[in-house]
Amino acid sequence: MKVTVIGAGAVGATAADNIARKQIASEVVILDIKEGFAEGKAMDLAQTASIEGFDTKLVGVTNDYQRTAKSDVIVVTSGLPRKPGMTREELIGINAGIVRTVVTNALAVSPKAIILIVSNPMDTMTYLTYQIAAEMGISKRKVIGMGGALDSSRFRYRLGEALNVAQSDLHGMVIGGHGDTTMIPLTRLATWNGIPVSRFLSGEKLKEVSDKTMVGGATLTGLLGTSAWYAPGAAIGQIVESILRDEKKIIPSCVYLNGEYGQKDICIGVPVVIGRNGWEKIINLRLSNAEKEAFEKSAEAVRAMNAAL
């Protein structure tokens, strides 16, 4: 299996590191537009192989899409990262042009690849990618946006913090748009080893957990001065592993809806089964009226961003 990661910044490099260590691909190609940057990142990562015990081949290239040909999965992290005070929405004008160029070039040499979009604003960049893929005759099931996996991880982190328990014992997901005001942490459905967390946390505390989850990205941007990279890189690795190992895991992801959840012609986060064919099935959750209302508002916000395209 061959995986290409486009963008050798902190998120892209961390994703490549995660994928290489999992040994789920025989080759990982890192591509960047900056001369020598991807080559340096790939060499640095490759020099950890004998220490970490993996044999994945790591290759770095400068804007040479032919070296990415016949990739099974393409991960797109290209674009400007958020800076303090900047919303994901403000990035759309700059990143749309970058993503269109990258996706078109990558799919031209890997038309059978599953493409994973990480660039922000992610929901809109995924919708743009869906449009490009459709023009090229590529199935909508091969276009996935990575947002829900990361947001759900941050949700479980906040739940673990509130309960003072291991995150690995918690289950919870976030649906909706990948934005500070559009994501929907499903506190009602969250469980601690199968037991609803609402039995242990008050409604007030659950709202606090939800609120902290929603500003998780902005909180880290404020602390770091740029976007986070460890958790995003791990979330990318989780999705790529589910694809290449055909694990059929349910992972909240941004996909194209055509009537599901009452929405059409939009890419937004919902729980989907991820396997070798991309996203293979949308899981229809029985949302409460309040959750349905929140999802509708989230979709409206995503459509407003899409209109800028």
From residue 23, alpha-carbon distances to 28, 38, 65, 211, 239 in Å are: 10, 20, 23, 36, 14
Active-site residue 171, yes or no?
Answer: no
In the set 2, 142, 156, 178, the catalytic residue is 178
Confirm or deny that 10 is annotated as ligand binding: yes
Which two three-digit tokens encode residue 196?
């609803």
Confirm or deny that 119 is annotated as ligand binding: yes
43-46: list long-range contacts, CB under 8 Å, 24+ apart: 45/13, 45/16, 45/17, 45/20
Specify the residue for token string 């004008």. 93
Confirm or deny that 154 is annotated as ligand binding: yes
From residue 101, alpha-carbon distances to 6, 37, 66, 76 in Å are: 11, 19, 15, 11
Confirm or deny that 147 is annotated as ligand binding: no
Confirm or deny that 216 is annotated as ligand binding: no
Confirm or deny that 9 is annotated as ligand binding: yes
Confirm or deny that 303 is annotated as ligand binding: no
Confirm or deny that 284 is annotated as ligand binding: no
Q: Report which residue type is found at 59.
A: V
Q: Which DSSP symbol is given to 181?
A: T
Confirm or deny that 137 is annotated as ligand binding: no
Confirm or deny that 289 is annotated as ligand binding: no
Q: Which of 22, 81, 15 is nearest to 42 (CA)?
A: 15
Residues placed in the known binding site for NAD(+): 7-12, 32, 95, 118-120
Active site residues: 178
Residues placed in the known binding site for substrate: 82, 88, 120, 154
